[in-house]
Structure 1
Amino acid sequence: MRSIYRAPAALLLCLCYLLAPLSAADNDPAAAEVLATMKKAATYYHDQVAVHGGYVYFYSPDLTQRFGEGTASSDQIWVQPPGTPTVGMAYIEAYHATTDEYYLNAATETAEALIYGQLESGGWTNCIDFNPKGERTAQYRNGKGKGKNNSSLDDDQTQSAIRFLVRLDQAYEFKNETIHGAAMTALDALLAAQFANGAFPQVWTGPVDQSLPIQQASFPKYDWRTEGRIKNYWDMYTLNDGLAGSVSAVLIEAHETYGDERYLTALKKLGDFLILAQLPSPQPAWAQQYNYEMNPIWARRFEPAAVAGRESQDAIETLLAIFEVTRDKKYLEPIPKAVNYLESSILPDGQLARYYEMQTNRPLYMNRSGKDYFLTYDDKDLPDHYGWKTSQKLEQLKNEYRKLVSSPKSVRGSRKVTADQVKPILASLDDQGRWISTFENERLVGDQRFRPGDQYISSETFAKNIEALSGYLKTSR
């Protein structure tokens, strides 16, 4: 019965726009044009691009080449953004903006692809391989895989999958048992992976040890350059690649959706860990990785024990988000001294270094000789596979902090999608329903190498454009 009433709703939306009185904005895109563009693009992406209901990062325009972290086979889809969950969330946004069940069905197929690759440990790794004998297959809950059982929080892998399933579960009013069950399994596993001090590991295969001591972060007393390296760093406390922000987003959304206090408790514990993990002055910021004694440690051979510019900004953003939910001022207390420190550490080019040497605060980089890496203070001729510097957004963080402090009930709002943002999106869709990108030496997710002038189709571009068009429909009514 749902489709009988909801499909005409999109038509009524068009008529409302077409019959609206002319105004100063009468040159703005009409709803009918936006709806038609969305459907054309989504139909192409769903019907032509999807494999087993899922997606990878990039495609050649003729779809003969597929790329995730490297070349993807015809049986592989990617979980890590901007892969399958990214596209699925765009379908959900389109469904909410139009009530067109085409998008709900497309999102459901995307969910089914993700659920196929859900691990026995409850989360996801970066790739799902539908070939039982494929090189990337893992230990799936459905029994059709084999191999590793490593649920990963690296690069928003498990987090993005959970957020997508939670939103789709809500769209179905929690009545789709398969989707609801997968979301609950993943959330239960995520809670079981939180340490007693509130931290999370990069990877888990089951519940973590809850008997570890809870203590404040400190600098190592040994020579961090030559000592203290830990092979299984992924089992320890991590903030790498925005983990705090992406996990907090999951917990906030789960609490808002299901009303389960466990998620709010876990969110507060994560905030408590960020307070503990703030390093002492004169470098009151955060490291990328910690051992169980709360000392910064090495991760990969090009990720040294150091104060981390990118992760520190993410920690501040996360604390702001946690305060916004809890209104507990203790989550704001670490922020002023962290911002002051980071402002004093801005590089001459206006960026932050990914790493600052402990104690000296000198920007720290890695250079490469063959397969070996060595520490350097020189930022010339750095390996191009890693982001050694990061853009800084300290003014934005300060403004958000001031707003929350000055207005106890204030929240961070979303921005309205304007006609000027929508017009180039409409104009750039080609006759087949594709948004084609041209490579110009930008750094892309994944390790494939495009040459300047190469054209490609991007899941990130598709998702951003569909979400922008959806937002325009919702905010322009």
Structure 2
Amino acid sequence: MRIQLFCLGLIALAIPSSLIDASAQDALKSKAVEAMREAAGYYVENVASHGGYVYHYSLDLKQRWGEGVATDDQIWIQPPGTPTVGMALLEAYAATRDAFYLDAATAAAGAVAYGQLKSGGWTNCVDLNPSGERRADYRNGKGRGKNNSSLDDGQTQSALRFLVLADLANRFRNTQIHQSAITGLDALLAAQFPNGGFPQVWTGPVSDQPIKPANYPEYDWRTEGRVKNYWDMYTLNDNVTGYVADLLIDAHRVYRDDRYLDALRRLGDFLVLAQMPMPQPGWAQQYNYDMQPIWARKFEPPGVSGDETQEVLQTLMRIAHVTGDDKYLEPIPAAAKWLRGSLLPDGRIARYYELQTNRPLYMKRRGDVYELSYDDSDLPSHYGWKTESQLAQLGKQFQRARGGLAPEPEASPRDLAKQAQQIIGALDAQRRWVSTFDGQRLVGQAKMPLGTPYLSSAIFSQNLSVLAAYVKSQSR
């Protein structure tokens, strides 16, 4: 017996570790493919409504939340709604070539196309009930009401990017998806100002405006210069330009139309123009046509924004990489230096810094009244007044960009394998990824007691995308 065991041991020692690793990876890949299909099967067959999705669901699926309570006929466009889920399904299709994912993504794209406005874009919600309270002036003639195409929070950008990618996956054969994508892209290009910037909202082509560099207002911005229709003016708030850049990059890659690359360059030119002069070479959330920071909502004062500045730096690096033009990298060192010098004592970055003084600027709330303050001890909880510093990551990305290198992949194969194991293990008996409300503010602000279990489109999409990335990494 000892001899037999010893021989078996020698045989085991003779097997290369790479073969053992390969066998384990094959097994994990098979489990990942199975988990993807089971989880997506549950979500598509039980959660989807009209092919689309909202943000959150109760486990019994009787309650649905987007920006507030949603009906069975309402789907959400704003991330992490239908386009977010749809793009994860497309990633799963690319990794597995399982037609189930393409069919589900195509159904989601059809629901998105239904909600395209006559102005060419989207608002945050689509109401598929012709008499529904949230219906809008849809291009298909089945709605009525407002016609405000919005770039806020990635609404139109995510819808269009999903449709562009779904059009590609369907080999441009689905007429509804193709026409909706091209119509939306044409409307987006018509909404780009001469200086390359975009409004937050449009209903038609924008007006011509003079091209000027960013500058500080000479009036008392605290009490003067408020603009009611700030959404008509140049907007960076909530990564508007980053979402637009990603859309234009994908549109050019898919359709090979140089109009989208030209629009991307013009967007980069706008971001260069919009950098504030010294002593605060960052970016604001909103600008008027004179390129001065302006008020938006009553709790969004003019100021140089730490959050938007970090987003702009990432966007400029993506534009530089795609266009091959290093001029889009030139604003970055000064902005990064300003950010480093503006860090809060806890290492975070304030959302707002007062114009020229650079003091962190906050708001106090008394009922519906907001007052400017330098005191951060009692901040309203509905808004992100501080953000985590990304300077370390931005520095690494900048070094690669300056060397002409593509951005590093977000995760290595080893990291993807570890994440895949955790994600597979997190599936419950019904093949769902169940979240538990821990008190953190949810997108859409769903109201539920602490400890309440729920389903999240964001978590589903994220997990499906990671598994798809892992499977794809093992197929090369």
Is residue 301 of structure 2 the alignment partner of residue 308 of structure 1?
no
Q: Cα RMSD (Å) of the superposition? A: 1.4
Q: Distance in 2 between matches of 1:230 and 1:142?
A: 33
Match of 1:233 among 215, 221, 230: 230
User: 1:219: how far off?
Assistant: 0.6
Q: Distance in 1 between matches of 2:461 and 2:222?
A: 42
Report if the CA contact (8 A) 1:416-1:475 is conserved. Answer: no
Q: Distance in 2 between matches of 1:331 and 1:39?
A: 42
Letter in 2 for 1:174: F
Is residue 84 of structure 2 the alignment partner of residue 86 of structure 1?
yes
Report if the CA contact (8 A) 1:218-1:280 is conserved. Answer: yes
Task: Please give the per-residue CA displacement for 1:317-363, whole angstroms capped at 9, x wherever unaligned.
Answer: 11101110112121111110000001100111111000000011111
User: 1:312: how far off?
Assistant: 0.6
Match of 1:187 among 176, 185, 196: 185
User: 1:411: how far off?
Assistant: 4.3
Is residue 385 of structure 2 the alignment partner of residue 375 of structure 1?
no
User: 1:31: how far off?
Assistant: 2.6
1:355-374 equivalence runs, <5 A: 355-374=352-371
Q: Distance in 1 between matches of 2:321 and 2:128?
A: 41
Determine the structure 2 residue equivalent to 1:142.
140
Report if the CA contact (8 A) 2:138-2:144 is conserved. Answer: yes
Question: What is the TM-score when the length of structure 1 is the normalising length?
Answer: 0.93
Match of 1:408 among 382, 404, 427: 404
Partner of 2:226, secondary structure, is coil
Partner of 1:457, secondary structure, is strand
Match of 1:104 among 102, 105, 130: 102
1:245-284 equivalence runs, <5 A: 245-284=242-281
Q: Distance in 2 between matches of 1:475 and 1:455?
A: 32
Task: Please give the per-residue CA displacement for 1:151-192, whole angstroms capped at 9, x wherever unaligned.
Answer: 100001111111111111111121222111111011101100
Determine the structure 2 residue equivalent to 1:4.
none
Unaligned 5+ runs, structure 2:
1-16
Unaligned 5+ runs, structure 1:
1-19
Which structure 1 residue ranges, 4+ long, deviate > 2 Å from structure 2? 24-32, 407-418, 447-451
Report if the CA contact (8 A) 2:285-2:293 is conserved. Answer: yes
Q: Distance in 2 between matches of 1:179 and 1:355?
A: 40
Determine the structure 1 residue equivalent to 2:447.
449
Q: Distance in 1 between matches of 2:18 and 2:338?
A: 54
Identity of paired residues, percent?
59
Q: Distance in 1 between matches of 2:401 and 2:367?
A: 49
Task: Please give the per-residue CA displacement for 1:64-85, whole angstroms capped at 9, x wherever unaligned.
Answer: 1111111111211100000000
Q: Distance in 2 between matches of 1:254 and 1:412?
A: 22
Letter in 1 for 2:150: S
Match of 1:65 among 63, 67, 70: 63
Determine the structure 2 residue equivalent to 1:15.
none
Determine the structure 2 residue equivalent to 1:16.
none
Q: Distance in 2 between matches of 1:284 and 1:408?
A: 24
Determine the structure 2 residue equivalent to 1:11.
none
User: 1:410: how far off?
Assistant: 4.2
User: 1:289: how far off?
Assistant: 0.2
Determine the structure 2 residue equivalent to 1:116.
114
1:156-167 equivalence runs, <5 A: 156-167=154-165
Match of 1:51 among 49, 52, 63: 49
Report if the CA contact (8 A) 2:200-2:234 is conserved. Answer: yes
Partner of 2:393, secondary structure, is helix
Q: Distance in 1 between matches of 2:395 and 2:97?
A: 39
Determine the structure 2 residue equivalent to 1:95.
93
User: 1:414: how far off?
Assistant: 4.2
Q: How many residues align?
A: 456
Report if the CA contact (8 A) 1:416-1:472 is conserved. Answer: no
Task: Please give the per-residue CA displacement for 1:194-225, whole angstroms capped at 9, x wherever unaligned.
Answer: 0000000000001101x210001101101111
Letter in 2 for 1:346: L
Partner of 1:30, secondary structure, is helix
Report if the CA contact (8 A) 1:53-1:110 is conserved. Answer: yes
Question: What is the TM-score when the length of structure 2 is the normalising length?
Answer: 0.94
Higher alpha-carbon deviation: 441-450 or 175-184: 441-450
Is residue 396 of structure 2 the alignment partner of residue 388 of structure 1?
no
Partner of 2:75, secondary structure, is strand
Partner of 1:374, secondary structure, is strand
Letter in 1 for 2:461: A
Q: Distance in 2 between matches of 1:203 and 1:402?
A: 35
Match of 1:285 among 282, 285, 288: 282
User: 1:30: how far off?
Assistant: 2.7
Report if the CA contact (8 A) 1:117-1:124 is conserved. Answer: yes
User: 1:392: how far off?
Assistant: 1.2
